Amino acid sequence: MKNRRIVIVGSGLGGYSIAQELRKRDDNLNIVLVTGEAGASYSKPMLSNAIAQQRPAAQWITSSSEAMAARLNLTLKSREQVVSIDVANRRVETSAAHLDYDALVLATGAEPARPPVAGDAAQDVLVVNDLDDYTRFREVVEGAQRVLLIGAGLIGCEFANDLLHANITPIVVDPGPRPLASLVPSETGLALQRALEAGGVQWHFGKTVQSITAANPGYAVTLDNGEIVKVDAVLSAIGLRPRTQLARAAGLRVNRGIVVDNYGCSSHPDIYAIGDCAEYPDGLHPFVRPILVAAKAMAATLLDTPTPIVLPTLPVTVKTPLHPVVALPPEAGIVGAWISESDGENSHLVFWNNEGSISGFSLSGTSSSARAQALLKQISVQPAHA
């Protein structure tokens, strides 16, 4: 029987995790990984805390593409795009060749949403979603004094905190009323708002960016209330959208992400999806831990031991060292109330449901991580999808 070939698209955490789990289980499997990136392995979450560390992009690489290919004994095709999938013939077409597969794993990630802004410099808005983006971002902010951030969500707050380490004033614009408005209750958001403001962040809530024009040097950013803000650079952090184009064009089921079942299998039995591009029965899970958990189960399934992906209860951590936040929002539909345990330094809220048990929490301040660990032990582990 011919050696089975698994083709993986993407060299982010999803792509490399599934490759690693497959290789752990099978020395002989033919694995080909195709990626639009250079293929180096690095920790993407560090990119929003990288300025504080004062390390250039190259120093975030933990393994070069050559080292990854050698360690995982796979064929790596870097800086090569998969342009289409021929589902019937189990073949992908790349920018350089055709590749036949027995099973295909899409680990295509997500791409930053771009704000709809006018102005002659609208195309200069930066995003940071990979190492190449980070290299550009670092060049631009080198020597900058004021950087405007679009979005006060998780990533926007992390970058705002990080820029303070380079003595840059972050100016954050968001249509919502406070930071993390869609993730945490107002008490936690306000505690973070105050802490970052004390550190030097300037907030513009209830406003949007309308246009960006070149001001030589820098940019003039016009907000929807007519205010003009002069800055050296603009970074957008308004969220990520799963990359689904390939899957959609191939006729796979796509909703917000590539729709997969509890095994990570798409609507076609030979094609799987993992990471930020995948949508499970209970939704997207665009974080590190779910990817690591999914990779283990998916590798077993791909090697003929069907294993469901069972995600543990996972809080969201916001890496804002001035005022760290850890939150586990209660699932939609759970009835209960937020009870405050806050003291002067920490804003701690615990969500008690009407059955008398804990269904969530929203913690900020220095002791939030320790309190989160204790609360997680009390929460009965409900698989996100069993």
CB of 276 to ligand FAD, least distance (A): 4
In the block, tokens 């936040």 appear at 325
Question: Which residues, 6+ apart, have CB-to-CB distance to 138 below 8 Å?
Answer: 50, 51, 56, 57
Strand bridging mode 233-236 / 146-150: parallel
DSSP, res 17: H
Question: Which residues, 6+ apart, have CB-to-CB distance to 223 below 8 Å?
Answer: 173, 204, 207, 208, 209, 210, 229
CB of 98 to ligand FAD, least distance (A): 14
Outline where DSSP puts E strands in 151-266. 169-174, 202-205, 209-214, 219-223, 228-231, 233-236, 240-242, 258-259
- Of 287, 296, 310, 330, the residue at the interface with ligand FAD (CB under 6 A) is 287
φ, ψ dihedrals at 345, nearest 5°: -95, -30
Q: Is 288 in the site for ligand FAD (CB under 6 A)?
A: yes
Q: Is 90 in the site for ligand FAD (CB under 6 A)?
A: no
Distances from the Cα of 183 to the Cα of 37, 235, 284, 371, angstroms = 31, 21, 15, 18
Per-residue interface string for the shown chain with ligand FAD, residues 6-25, x marking contact by CB under 6 A: ---xxxxxxx----------
Q: Is 275 in the site for ligand FAD (CB under 6 A)?
A: yes
Binding to ligand FAD, residues 317-356 (CB under 6 A)? 317, 319
- Of 20, 48, 188, 236, the residue at the interface with ligand FAD (CB under 6 A) is 48
CB of 50 to ligand FAD, least distance (A): 9
Of the candidates 32, 3, 11, the one whose C-alpha atom is nearest the C-alpha of residue 92 is 32
- Of 34, 51, 201, 327, the residue at the interface with ligand FAD (CB under 6 A) is 34
- Of 35, 41, 266, 364, the residue at the interface with ligand FAD (CB under 6 A) is 35
Question: Which residues, 6+ apart, have CB-to-CB distance to 291 below 8 Å?
Answer: 13, 14, 17, 274, 275, 285
- Of 82, 163, 173, 372, the residue at the interface with ligand FAD (CB under 6 A) is 82
CB atoms within 10 A of CB 161: 27
| Dihedral angle of Cα 40, 42, 45, 47, to the nearest 10 degrees | -80
Of the candidates 374, 375, 319, 365, the one whose C-alpha atom is nearest the C-alpha of residue 342 is 365
Q: Is 252 in the site for ligand FAD (CB under 6 A)?
A: no
Binding to ligand FAD, residues 172-211 (CB under 6 A)? none
3-state secondary structure of 272: strand
Q: Which stretch binds ligand FAD (CB under 6 A): 103-111, 182-190, 345-353, 377-385?
A: 103-111
* CA end-to-end distance (rounded Å), the chain: 34
Q: Which stretch binds ligand FAD (CB under 6 A): 44-52, 58-66, 118-126, 167-175?
A: 44-52
CB of 176 to ligand FAD, least distance (A): 19
Strand bridging mode 98-100 / 228-231: unpaired
Q: What b/e sequence results for 283-313 when a residue is b if at least 16 CB atoms lie within 10 Å of its CB, and e otherwise?
A: ebbbbeebbebbbbbbbbbbbeeebebebee
CB of 123 to ligand FAD, least distance (A): 20
Q: Is 47 in the site for ligand FAD (CB under 6 A)?
A: yes
Q: Which stretch binds ligand FAD (CB under 6 A): 59-67, 283-291, 369-377, 378-386?
A: 283-291
Q: Residues touching ligand FAD: how many (CB under 6 A)?
A: 34
Per-residue interface string for the shown chain with ligand FAD, residues 120-159, x marking contact by CB under 6 A: --------xx-------------------------x----
- Of 276, 297, 323, 324, the residue at the interface with ligand FAD (CB under 6 A) is 276
Q: Is 246 in the site for ligand FAD (CB under 6 A)?
A: yes
Asked whether the beta carbons of 29 and 300 are under 8 A apart, the reply is: no
Q: Is 371 in the site for ligand FAD (CB under 6 A)?
A: no
- Of 218, 286, 315, 324, the residue at the interface with ligand FAD (CB under 6 A) is 286
In the complex, the residues that contact ligand FAD under the rule CB under 6 A are 9-15, 34-37, 44-45, 47-48, 81-82, 107-110, 128-129, 155, 243, 246, 275-276, 286-288, 291, 317, 319
